[in-house]
Each structure stands twice: as C-alpha cells, then as structure tokens.
C-alpha cells in the first residue's frame, strides 16, 4: 500500500510543473492576443497605393472598374488590414459614400462598381458625370482606417461595340459566307451529298403506315415557345408532314402547349392542306390548345394517345421532364414513334423509348432532308463545312495548348470570347 501511495504522490508532484507550464502558456497566449488586438486597433495601417478607376469596357455604361495595390499591412507588415472599403463621390473634397453593401475582404485589389441605369433608383450612376474614388484600408475597428489618395475625375459611358465578342462576329460572318456559297452552288445545280438520316427517312413510312391502318398521326411541338429555334424547326417538319397527311387524307392531331405556337401551327397546317389542294379536308380543331401546365398537358396528350391509338407519334421541339412519360405511353399504345429535340438531357429518354430519334442539330436539318430543295440543302452543306472548320480548330487548339510558347498563346487568345 505504501508503495502505491508513494507512486501516486510522485505522479502528482510530477504533474504540478507540467500543469503550471500548460496554464501559464495559455495565460501568456491570452494576454498576447489582447496585446496584439490592442496594438492592431490603435495602429493605422498603410494605405493602398496605385489606385485607378476606369470606365468598365464593353458594357452598357454606369459602371467603373476600380483597381489598386493592396496595403503593405495586408498579409505583411502589421497585418492589421481586415477589409477594404470603396468610397465614391462626385466631389473630390467631401461626401464620399461607400459603394456596395459589404466591405471587401483583405487581399482584394479590384472592384467593379456597377451603378443602376434607372434614374428612379437610389443607386443610379449617371454616365458622362465626374466621379472620384478613394479606398479605405480598415482594421478590426472600423473607425481605424487609412484612406488612399483620391483618384479622379473619371466618367462612365456605354459602348457601341463589345470587342470581347469579335471572335463570335467573325465566326458568324464566315459561317454566313459559307452558307451563301453553298446555297449559290446548290442553285446552280451542284450535286450536294448529305448522309441519310434514319429518323427522317422513317417519316414517309410512318405516314404511310398511319394511312394504311386508318389511324391518326399525333404531332407534338413540345413545350417551347414560338421564339425558340427548336420549335421553328418543328414548324418546318410539321409543314411537310401536314402536306403529306393532306395528300394521303390521314387524320392529324396537334395538341399544343403554347397558344402562340397553336396559332402558328394552325396556319401552317392550313397552308399545307391548301398546297396539297385539299383545303376542304382541313379541320381547325385538329390543332388545338390544351394547357400551359406541364403535367396537365402530359395527362391530356397521354389520354389522347390511349383513346385515339395513333399509328404514329412525332415529338419534335423542346421537351423537358415530360419527354419520357409521353414516349413511354406512346410505346405502350403501340405507335411508331419519331422524336427530335435539342434538349440534351432528354435525348437519352427519346432514344430509349422511340423508334427513331433526331439528335440535336438533326432536328434543324430535318426540313432540308424532307424538302430536298437545293437552297435548303446548300445551307445544310454550309453547316457541315462550319463543323469541319470547328473540328480543325479544335485539333489546332489541342496541339498549340500542349506545345506552349508565347506566340501560340497569343494565337489561342484570338479565339477567346470575353463577356
């Protein structure tokens, strides 16, 4: 027992100096922090230097880009700079106000000061008006800060050309020229080969099948508005389909999600029936508005599919979450299904559930395939050439990026689109 007590006593005595050391260190650290905090609060930091403010380029105006070199006490020196505050005034001598709701964190050396363009706004920033800038380097105590020198006057203004988008403009012009060249060639009767698309070739068969079976064709324009290119492409296909439907005297059903799309579709189908010389067969109620509620529309179209049992379902345009519900119901109804969309997330669903699918751009190309008109084929060929040019540029980009070097870097910069 005595040995045990002696051991515990020795352990206790041994722990005393360690505990004193530990608590002493804590106390020292705590007092050190206080001292440090006091010194931080009392010492003014070095101000920022090299302050500059310029009119933000390539924008609509009412905006400045402010840059500066950080304070010597930001991350170094006294290390007492915690925030920066961007101050602006229309008078260099007074009434500077903070820009932005929050202060900028330490290390920040740039700020885009976007004012409102609306005169009724409190934040309205007039163009062609002199403004002056100042940057405050702020310590932990927001009342202790150093102000930079004042920079100004500087004026904002809107630009008439966005230089950052020059590569896009050049690409569009080249593409336009390519299209015009191939359209001209097509007009002269050049033999332009385009690879066959199974989905397009199936359209004729699908209409024929519907005619033989005496069942209708259901054409769905998707959920897109009339301003979307996918819907415009879908109108084009509808026009061709409606013309054939009129010739074969098959029933066509076009339930619409958007009322504007409905009015355009009605006109297209009517014109196609007129072109086919069967205007009397046109029924306005074959193209009708259902609803602008996504799943209510799906319910209505699914109901139509299961009641009418169409021989062919065509889904062309913009589709979202409803794509698979529609296509699977169509598959259950035993219809031949042809789809086309530029919504990448929905393409796999259509591929799985439909017999033929036009993937992405094939939807836009469909009108040229269906019409076989030289002008449309020419534009398609121009599109193919542009794609070839992009592939070449991509290979060049990959090679130059791996080789490196300043000249090649500058070459790559030519293709960079800013803003």
Partner 1 sequence: MRRQIPFALVFIFGTFMVFQYFVPHETSEWIYEYLLDWIAIIGIFALALGIWSFYKVSVDKIKDKNEDWPYSVISLSGLFVMIFFGFTARTGESWGFYFPALLILTAGLGMFTMAYTETSSSKSKTSAMIGLGLIVVFVIISIMDNSWNFYFYTQEGLKNIAFISFFEHIMIPIQATMFSLLAFFISSAAYRAFRARNLLSSILLIAALIVMLRFNPYLGPVSGLMADGADWLINVPNLAAKRAIIIGIGLGIVATSLKVLLGIERSYMGKG
CA distance 124 to 133: 16
List 159, 201, 204, 413, residue binding partner 1 (CB under 8 A): 159
CA distance 301 to 291: 10
Residues 6+ apart with CB under 8 A from 110: 65, 66, 67, 68
Q: Which stretch binds partner 1 (CB under 8 A): 19-27, 81-89, 380-388, 403-411?
A: 380-388
216 vs 382, beta carbon nearer partner 1 = 382
172 vs 399, beta carbon nearer partner 1 = 172
Residue 386, CA distances (Å) to 171, 177, 196, 360 in order: 9, 10, 19, 16
Confirm or reject binding of residue 313 to partner 1 (CB under 8 A).
no
Residues of this chain, 21-80, that bind partner 1 according to CB under 8 A:
58-62
Q: Which two tokens stand for residue 249?
A: 């005297």
For 16, list phi and psi in degrees, rounded to 5: -55, -55
List 272, 337, 339, 357, residue binding partner 1 (CB under 8 A): 272
Contact of 50 with 69, CB cutoff 8 Å: yes
List 150, 185, 192, 375, residue binding partner 1 (CB under 8 A): 375
206 vs 264, beta carbon nearer partner 1 = 264
Residues of this chain, 126-145, that bind partner 1 according to CB under 8 A:
127
| Residue 150 C-beta: closest distance to partner 1, Å | 28
Contact of 266 with 226, CB cutoff 8 Å: no
What are the helix (H) ranges across 217-338?
Answer: 229-248, 259-275, 294-308, 322-332
Residue whose token pair is 């961007």:
86
189 vs 405, beta carbon nearer partner 1 = 189
Question: How many Cβ atoms sit within 10 Å of the Cβ of residue 238?
Answer: 27
| Residue 227 C-beta: closest distance to partner 1, Å | 6
Confirm or reject binding of residue 220 to partner 1 (CB under 8 A).
no
- Which DSSP state fits 49? E
79 vs 387, beta carbon nearer partner 1 = 387
Q: What three-state secondary structure class fits 146?
A: strand
| Residue 208 C-beta: closest distance to partner 1, Å | 20
Q: Which stretch binds partner 1 (CB under 8 A): 16-24, 192-200, 201-209, 370-378?
A: 370-378
List 89, 109, 147, 263, residue binding partner 1 (CB under 8 A): 263
Contact of 356 with 338, CB cutoff 8 Å: yes
Q: Mask: binding to partner 1, 70-109, rule CB under 8 A, as x and -?
A: ----------------------------------------
Residues of this chain, 388-417, that bind partner 1 according to CB under 8 A:
390
Question: Which H or E run includes 71?
Answer: none
146 vs 272, beta carbon nearer partner 1 = 272
Contact of 317 with 224, CB cutoff 8 Å: yes
């Amino acid at each position: 027992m005595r040995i045990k007590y002696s051991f515990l006593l020795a352990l206790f005595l041994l722990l005393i100096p360690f505990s004193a050391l530990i608590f002493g260190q804590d106390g020292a650290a705590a007092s050190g922090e206080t001292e440090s905090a006091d010194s931080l609060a009392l010492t003014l930091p070095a101000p920022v230097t090299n302050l500059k403010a310029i009119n933000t380029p390539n924008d609509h105006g009412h905006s400045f880009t402010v840059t500066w070199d950080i304070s010597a006490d930001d991350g170094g020196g006294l290390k007492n700079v915690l925030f920066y505050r961007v101050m602006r005034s229309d008078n260099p001598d007074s009434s500077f106000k903070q820009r932005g709701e929050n202060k900028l964190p330490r290390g920040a050396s740039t700020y885009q000061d976007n004012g409102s363009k609306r005169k009724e706004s409190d934040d309205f920033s007039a163009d062609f008006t002199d403004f002056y800038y100042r940057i405050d380097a702020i310590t932990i105590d927001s009342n202790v800060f150093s102000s930079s020198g004042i920079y100004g006057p500087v004026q904002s203004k809107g630009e008439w050309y966005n230089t950052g988008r020059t590569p896009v403009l050049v690409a569009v012009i080249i593409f336009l020229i390519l299209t015009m060249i191939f359209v001209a060639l097509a007009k002269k009767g050049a033999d332009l080969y385009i690879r066959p698309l199974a989905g397009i070739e199936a359209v004729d068969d699908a209409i024929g099948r519907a005619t033989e079976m005496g069942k209708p064709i259901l054409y769905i324009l998707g959920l897109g508005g009339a301003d979307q290119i996918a819907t415009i492409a879908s109108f084009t296909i509808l026009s061709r389909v409606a013309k054939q439907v009129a010739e074969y005297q098959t029933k066509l059903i076009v339930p619409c999600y958007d009322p504007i799309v409905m009015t355009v579709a009605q006109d297209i189908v009517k014109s196609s029936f007129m072109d086919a010389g069967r205007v009397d067969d046109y029924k306005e109620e074959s193209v009708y508005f259902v609803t602008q509620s996504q799943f209510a529309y799906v319910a209505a179209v699914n109901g139509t599919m299961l009641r009418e049992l169409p021989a062919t379902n065509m889904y062309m345009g913009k589709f979202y979450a409803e794509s698979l519900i529609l296509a699977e119901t169509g598959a259950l109804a035993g219809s031949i299904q042809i789809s086309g969309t530029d919504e990448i997330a929905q393409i796999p669903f259509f591929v799985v559930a439909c017999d033929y699918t036009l993937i992405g751009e094939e939807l836009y190309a469909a009108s040229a395939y269906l019409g076989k008109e030289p002008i449309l084929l020419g534009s398609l060929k121009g599109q193919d050439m542009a794609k070839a040019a992009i592939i070449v540029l991509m290979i060049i980009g990959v090679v130059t990026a791996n080789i490196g070097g300043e000249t090649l870097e500058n070459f790559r910069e030519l293709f960079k689109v800013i803003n």
